Amino acid sequence: MSWSFDVAPNPLPPGHVTGDFITMLAVAWSLVRQQQADAFDMLDCLASSYSPGSPARYSPYNALALEGLSEGTNPFLLAKHAEQYLAVTPSRASQSCSHRPDRQLHGTEDFAGVIRAVPVGIAYRDAPQDVLREAADAATVFTHPTELGGEGAVVVAAAVAWLSKADPASATPQQLLEHLQSVASSSPDMTAKLQLLQQQLPRMADLGCVTDWRAFWGSAHWAHFTATANLLWKQNLAMQGTQAAALALWVVLSSWRHPKQAVMLAASLGGYAATTGGLVGGLAGALHGCSWVPQAWWGVLQEEWLQPQQPQLQGDAEHPPEEEEALSQGELGGPNGSAGAAAQQAVLAGQQAEVVGWEEAAEGDALSVLRVGKHAVVALGKGLAAVSAQQVPQLLG
């Protein structure tokens, strides 16, 4: 979502979604349609979700990659060609003399792919670690085939998966960090950032719920919070995927039991606040569900921007009977699959989750909601999450 203090060129009004959010919806749509993480189908959905004239703001690299996809660029050459183009443009050349967001170094290492991992984490929350990693890679492999660009997505997917199964009353930040360090062991950069978070976390342990924000801005907690953030990013911008993932984790860890406060802190950091806020909301929502989201936040949504055009795939009208039965019984995939395609079944209705099944609501809209414990996946016809702002809190609350 965009924020009311958006000061970039052609600022978005409050309530309008960003390009990153639209690409996240595209990945979620692919997971729902294919019932697995299919890299080529995700790529197709990403291309179809992009509208060159859309007011939704994308990072320069994200816009370039998606435009190339929509024009039929060979996906295996996409990242290479985009990098070559960026290398000779004024946007990249001028980054040495300015830290404006639209002049920063953007490429295959940038943050744009990280938020796509949020729905992957929900879908694969019961999958083995190697299968979860492959699923997260599927969402970024063609656009962010680098450690700094893709490893952040893997960590976010793993965090969402862990949080979605955790008990909010007993789970601790330390437990999450220990789990993520095992996931990121192959990435020196991500491992170093997670270790930094573990070192800095004790100084935020007694933050609690902020009741006086004016006093908070002048407190030692805020000073330490921002000082740690400055160690995770560059020039007040989390440009790389691992930076964006670590920064979002820092915000959530600092307000572990206060999800609304976490999102507000993310917005207060500035920089790419919309992306940071979206990541924080996804992580906090995985742990706490959706009931904490204020009604006022739903009320400003501009639902017309939540309807990215999606490709018409085979079987688009409805699920096959056997798939419908599997959905209702919560038997799609499981925790013991192999790394092959058969094992990459999206665990949209995991065996340990409380499933109510598909529900019909919003007469005339054919809205379907798959409830999985405290979570919900919303599908409307051929467009994921194309639901009015007034309906969302009732459906997800």
- CATH code of residue 224: 1.10.4080.10
The whole-number pLDDT of residue 235 equals 55
| 393: pLDDT strictly greater than 80 | no
| 333: pLDDT strictly greater than 60 | no
Q: Which of 49-63, 79-93, 272-286, 367-381 has the highest mean pLDDT?
A: 272-286
Q: How far apart are CA 282 and CA 121, in angstroms?
A: 10
The whole-number pLDDT of residue 51 equals 79
Residue type, 115: I
Q: How far apart are CA 198 and CA 177, in angstroms?
A: 7
- Counted domains in the chain: 1
The whole-number pLDDT of residue 123 equals 93
Q: What interhelical angle do 78-87 and 60-70 show, nearest 10?
A: 130
Model confidence pLDDT, tens digit, residues 369-378: 333 333 333 3
**pLDDT band at residue 288, thresholds of 50, 70 and 90?**
very high
| 93: pLDDT strictly greater than 60 | no
Q: How far apart are CA 235 and CA 318, in angstroms?
A: 48
The whole-number pLDDT of residue 111 equals 80
Of 127 and 353, more confident? 127
Classify residue 172: in a domain, yes or no: yes
Classify residue 393: in a domain, yes or no: no
**320-335 average pLDDT score:** 38
Of 60 and 159, more confident? 159
Per DSSP, the three-state class of 194 is helix
Model confidence pLDDT, tens digit, residues 172-183: 999 999 999 999
CB contact burial 66-85 (16+ within 10 A = b; e otherwise): bebbeeebebeebbeebbee
| Angle ∠(393,394,397) on CA atoms, nearest 5 | 65
**pLDDT band at residue 223, thresholds of 50, 70 and 90?**
very high
C-alpha dihedral, 139 to 144 to 145 to 151, nearest 10°: -80
Helices (H), the chain: 19-34, 39-49, 60-70, 78-87, 90-93, 117-123, 129-140, 147-165, 173-183, 188-200, 213-217, 220-232, 241-254, 259-268, 273-288, 295-299, 321-329, 392-396
Average pLDDT, the chain: 71
**66-75 average pLDDT score:** 81
Classify residue 376: in a domain, yes or no: no
* pTM of the entire predicted model: 0.72
**pLDDT band at residue 11, thresholds of 50, 70 and 90?**
low
Model confidence pLDDT, tens digit, residues 246-260: 999 999 999 999 999
Lowest mean pLDDT of 118-127, 159-168, 265-274, name the range.
Answer: 265-274
Lowest mean pLDDT of 106-110, 148-152, 359-363, name the range.
Answer: 359-363
Model confidence pLDDT, tens digit, residues 348-377: 323 223 323 323 333 333 333 333 333 333
The whole-number pLDDT of residue 396 equals 37
Distance, CA of 1 to chain centre: 12
Classify residue 7: in a domain, yes or no: no
| 392: pLDDT strictly greater than 90 | no
| 273: pLDDT strictly greater than 70 | yes
Classify residue 149: in a domain, yes or no: yes
**CB-CB contact of 308 with 315 (8 Å):** no
pLDDT above 70 covers a percentage of the chain that reads 64
**294-320 average pLDDT score:** 53
Classify residue 189: in a domain, yes or no: yes
The whole-number pLDDT of residue 146 equals 80
Per DSSP, the three-state class of 318 is coil
**307-336 average pLDDT score:** 38
Q: How far apart are CA 277 and CA 296, in angstroms?
A: 16
**pLDDT band at residue 241, thresholds of 50, 70 and 90?**
confident
**Which residue range(s) make up the domain with 260?**
19-303
**pLDDT band at residue 234, thresholds of 50, 70 and 90?**
low
| 76: pLDDT strictly greater than 90 | no
Classify residue 396: in a domain, yes or no: no
